[in-house]
Structure 1
Amino acid sequence: MRVVAVGFACVLLASSAFAADDGLRDFSTDRPNKSSSATTVDAGHWQVESDLFNWSRSSDPDFVQRTMSTVLPTLKLGVTNNTDIELTLPTRVWVRNTFRSGRTSFSWSTRGWSDITLTGKLNLLGNDEGDVAIGIAPYVKLPTGSTGISNKQTEFGVYAPVTWKLDEDWSLSVQLQLDALASDNNPDKKRFNAQTFVQLSYAMTDSIVLSVEHYAAHKFNDGTGSAIQTFDLAAAWLVQPDLQFDISAYLPLNKAAPDLVVILGVSKRF
C-alpha cells in the first residue's frame, strides 16, 4: 500500500505540469476538515480528493484501538454547471486492538476494505459569484467492505454546507448533516444521527489556508453512546491552481471522541 500511495502522489504531481483552464472556478475541495464545500466541480471536469495517510487512536481505561489507512480516493465528476456526482472508493484499513486488565493484556488485529459511498451534490447559490454559497448533498454508503471493518449495513443521509466570505482573507462555513445509520443495539434497525460543523478559515497567503473547526455528532433513539465533539485544525497548500496538499488533526473535546486523528491528503482537478 505504501507503493500505491507514493505512485498516486507521483501521478498527481506529474499531472500538475499542465496549466489550469482560466475559465474554471477557483479550486474548491471537501478537504481538509470534516465539513464540505458548497460548490461543485465544473461541468465536464474530474476531481480526485484523497487521504494519503490516515491514523487514529481511541481508548478507554481498559482498551486501546489504533486505526490506519492510506489512499482513500473520492472521484468527482461535474455533470452540469451546478451539480456533480461523487464516488468514494474503498481503502485498505488496519485496526489494532489492545485490551488491558490489571497485569493482563492481549492484542488482536483486523485488516480489510472499507465501504463504497455514492454522493450527489447540488449547488443552490454562489457557485460562480457572490459572498455566500449554499449546497445540498444526499449520499448512500453501500456495505461492500470486509467483515470486521464494515458494519455490513446500507446507510444514508444528507448534508447542507453554507459558506460566507467575510472579507478577502476570512471565511465562515457551517454545515448540518442528518443520517440514518445502523443501530448499535440492533444493526438491522436504523437510528437517527445529526452532525454539526462550524469552520473558520484564514487565507494566510494566496496558496496557504489555515482553518479551525468545531465538530459534533449526536445519536438519537439508540440508547447507547454519547455525543462526540472534536476541535479540528487544518492547513491546505495550493501548489498549483489545480493541485492541493493538506494536513489535519482532530483533537477530542470529550471522552467519547477519539484521542487523536491525523490525516495527510491531496486533491487534483483534471
Structure 2
Amino acid sequence: MSKTLGSIFTLVLPLATLGVTDLSFAEPVDKSSYTLFNPTPVEHLREMSTDRPDATEGATTVDAGHYQIEMDLYNTSIDEMKSEDIKTRETAIGSFNLRMGLTQSTELNIIFDPHLEQKVETAGESDTNTGIGDTTIRYKINFMGNEGGPISLGLIPFVKIPTADDDLGNDEYEGGLVIPIGLELPNGFELGMMAQFNYLKNEANKKYHTQLDTSMVLGHDIAGDLGGYIELFSASSTEEDAAWEATANIGFTYEPTHRHLVFTSFEVG
C-alpha cells in the first residue's frame, strides 16, 4: 500500500488574544493562582507553541484561561492498494483542535472534523460519502519545560467519541496515551519526539488491538518569519495481518506575528 498526504494548510489563532500583535514575553513568574476562570495576564503569556500540522504532539500547554485553535483549512490524502485495485481519497475541510488552558500546566483539547469527504474507487467504480467526523477529547499535562528550558515533557490521555456519519468512522469508542518530549538543540534547532499508545477496534471483528505510533520532528528557522521542519512517523499494530506503516513529512511555517501562525506540509509514505 502506498500513501500520499499533501495540501495541508493550517491556521493557528489564540482566541483569547486576537488583536494582540506585539507581545514582549516576560521572565517566568509564579502562575500557580491562574485558572480557566482566572486567566493569565497577557503580559505573562508564554511563547505560543502548536501541536499541528505535524504528527508529533507538543509537550507544552496553553496558558490558563486562554484558548488556541489550530485548524486545517484543507487536508487531502490518497491511499492506494494496488494489489486489490482500490484507491481511497479522503478530504477534510476545517478540521480543528481547540485547546483550552485549565491551569498553568494542564489543558483540555477538543478535536473535530466538521466536513469529511471519502471517495473509494474499485475496478472502475466509485463511491463517495460526505459528513462529519469523529470527536477526540484530550487532557494534556506538562511536567517540565512549559516556561522554557532545554527539555519539555508531557502526558496526553485521550478518548475518541464516535460522532462520525455512516461509513466515515467505525462507530466505536477508542483511546490511548501520548508521551511527547521536546528538546532545544544547538544552533537554533528544535527536536520533538513522541510515543503514542492506541487502543483500537479490529476491522474484522469486535475485539480490540494495540498500536504504537512513534515520530520525530526536527525544525529550524529558515529566514525571517519563515521556518521549516522534517518529520519521520511510523505505526506498528498488533492486529492480525496489519502492515507496518512509515511516512516522511516536510513542512513550512510562517509567523506574521507572535500570536498567528500559518503552516503548509506534504507527506509521503
* Equivalent residue letter for 1:165: E
Q: Which runs of 5+ in 2 are unaligned?
A: 1-10, 24-41
- Which of 36, 41, 47 pairs up with 2:57? 36
- 2:237 corresponds in structure 1 to 219
Task: Return the offset for 1:144.
Answer: 1.1
Q: Give, as a single letter, the amino acid of the residue that structure 1 aligns with 2:255.
A: L
Deviation of 1:225 after TM superposition, in Å, equals 2.1
Q: In the TM superposition, what are the counterparts of 1:1-270 in structure 2 within 5 Å?
A: 15-16=18-19, 19-20=22-23, 21-61=42-82, 62-100=85-123, 105-186=124-205, 188-220=206-238, 222-252=239-269
Task: For residue 15 of structure 1, report the CA deviation from its aligned partner.
Answer: 3.6
Kindly provide the CA deviation profile for residues 210-233 of structure 1, in whole angstroms up to 9, marking residues without a partner as x.
Answer: 11111000101x212201100011
Q: Distance in 2 between matches of 1:17 and 1:128?
A: 20
Is contact 1:139–1:158 with CA below 8 Å preserved after alignment? yes
What TM-score, normalized by structure 2, do the two folds share?
Answer: 0.83
* Distance (whole Å) between structure 1 residues aligned to residue 50 and residue 96 of structure 2: 13
Instruction: Quote the residue 2:34 is aligned against.
Output: none
Q: Does structure 1 retain, via aligned residues, the 8 Å contact 2:237–2:244?
A: yes
- Residue 63 of structure 2 aligns to a residue in which SS? coil
Distance 1:133 1:168 in 2: 18
Percent of residue pairs identical = 25
Counterpart residue type for residue 115 of structure 1: D
Query: Offset at 1:17?
Result: 5.6
Alpha-carbon distance, 1:209 to partner: 2.0
Distance 1:24 1:10 in 2: 14
Cα gap change, 1:194/1:67 in structure 2, threshold over 3 Å: closer, same or farther? same
Deviations 1:10-57 (A, max 9, x none): 998x94465443421111000121111110001111000110000111
Q: Provide the aligned length of Structure 1 versus Structure 2.
A: 238
Distance 1:168 1:91 in 2: 40
Classify the secondary structure of the residue corresponding to 1:130.
Answer: coil
Structure 1: gaps of 5 or more residues: 1-7, 253-270
Q: Secondary structure in 2 aligned to 1:197?
A: strand
- Match of 1:80, SS state, is coil
Structure 1 runs of 4+ with >3 Å offset: 8-12, 14-22
* TM-score (structure 1 length as normaliser): 0.83
Shift of 1:90: 3.2
Deviations 1:110-164 (A, max 9, x none): 1121011100000011110211101110000001111100110000000011111
Determine if contact 2:14/2:69 at 8 Å carries over to the other structure.
no
